Amino acid sequence: MNRPVRSDWSPAAALRLKWLVLRTAIEERLVYRGDFAFSTLVRFLPIVTQIFLWNAIYQNDPERSLRGYKFGDMVSYYLLVMLARAFSSMPGLSTGIAGSIADGSVRKYLIQPVDMLDHLFWHRVAHKLVYYAVACGPFALVFWLCREWLPGWPAWPVMAAFVASLLMGFVIGFLIESWIGLVAFWFLEVSSLIFIYMMLSYFLSGHMIPLEYLSTWLPFVEYLPFRFLAYTPAAILLGRIPASELSGELLLQLGWIVFLLALNRLTFRLGVRRYSSWGG
C-alpha cells in the first residue's frame, strides 16, 4: 500500500492539535459522568478487603513485622500502590488498538497527519484528568481514615521523586499496553497476551504483595519495568529506597521509557509495512 504523506507541522500547530485532542477526549468522558463516577468509586472497595486480610495475617498485632513491614506499613503500602496503579493502569488501550487494526479504522492514522501513539497518549491523559477530578474526594477520605498508619510528610526531594515516578509510571503503563495492541499487526487476537500481561503485572509490579516477598526467588524483578507501575512510587514515599539511590531509580525508569518508546515506534513502522485492508 502507498505510504501516507504527512505535511510538516509547526510546533505551534502541533501543540494546538494536542490541546484539541485533550479537550475533546475530556468532553467525551464527561458525557457519561454518572457511570464514570460510579465505576471510579467501586474501585476503592478492594482496599477495605486488603486491610481486613492483612489484619488477619498480622493476627491483630500492630508490632509484628513481616519482611520489614509492620501492619501500619502494609496499609500505607497498599494505599500508595492503589494511587500508583490508578496512574499506570490503561484499561481498554490494548484491545482498542487491536480492534482498530482488525476493523481497518487504523487507516485514519495512516492517511491523516496525526500520529497514532501521540493521539492515544493524550486521550489517556484526558482519562486520568477526569478520573482524578472524580476520585480526589474518595482518595482524600480513604487516606484521612487511614491517617494513623501513613508516614509523615517526606522531604521535598523524596516528594519530587515520588511525583516523577508516578508520572513516568503512567508513561510506562501506556507504552507497554500500546505495544501489546500493536502486536495485532501480526496476530488477529491479542487477548491471550493481554491476560498474560495482566497476570505478570499483578505479581511483578508489587500490586499483590511487596516485591521484598518475591526478590528472594526472582532477583531479576528489580530490573523489570513492571515494578515502576506500582511498587517504586510507594517504596519511594515509604523510605524503602534510600535517598542516595533515588536518582539511579529514576534514571532506570527513564531508560525503560526510552526503550519502550523505541520499541513502539519500530513495531508500528514494521506493522504498517505489512498491513493491508479492503473496503470503504
For helices 11-31 and 116-145, the axis angle rounded to 10 degrees is 50
Q: Which of 107, 116, 96 shows the shortest CA–CA distance to 280?
A: 107
The reported pTM is: 0.82
Task: Note the pLDDT tens digit of each residue in 159-196.
Answer: 999 999 999 999 999 999 999 999 988 887 788 888 99
What pLDDT is attached to residue 2?
40
Strand stretches in 119-247, DSSP E: none
What pLDDT is attached to residue 280?
45
**Per-residue b or e along 128-145, where b marks 16 or more CB atoms closer than 10 Å to that residue's CB:** bebbebbbeeebeebbee
Task: Note the pLDDT tens digit of each residue in 66-97.
Answer: 777 888 888 889 888 988 888 898 888 999 99
What pLDDT is attached to residue 182?
93
What pLDDT is attached to residue 274?
80
Low-confidence ranges of the chain (pLDDT < 50): 1-7, 278-280
What pLDDT is attached to residue 119?
85
